[in-house]
Amino acid sequence: MNDSKTLTFQDKKVLQDARSITQTQMEARTRKIYAAFDQRRKTVEAKEADRLDAEELRQLEEKIKRKKP
């Protein structure tokens, strides 16, 4: 690899110079990145669950309205 080039992954710079980090540092960074990803994933899943619950309630309300005399 040409050291003068910057390695990119998904439009993010991942290697900007020739420095190295310890495995412990790498694991700490990885945990931090994964924690942020996991929080975003959980937020998206919770919003989708809320949307599905709201749709189910709307359908039940419509069903009840149709049954009223």
pTM over 0.75: no
The domains of the chain are located at 22-67
Predicted confidence (pLDDT) at residue 6 exceeds the cutoff of 70: no
Distance in angstroms (rounded) separating the CA atoms of residues 20 and 62: 62
Q: Which of 29, 3, 1 is nearest to 16 (CA)?
A: 3
| Dihedrals phi, psi of 15, to nearest 5 degrees | -145, 105
Taking only the tens place, the pLDDT of each residue in 7-30 is: 566 676 666 665 778 889 889 999
What pLDDT is recorded for position 21?
81
Task: Provide the pLDDT for residue 9.
Answer: 64
Tell me the pLDDT tens digit for each residue of 54-67.
999 999 999 998 98
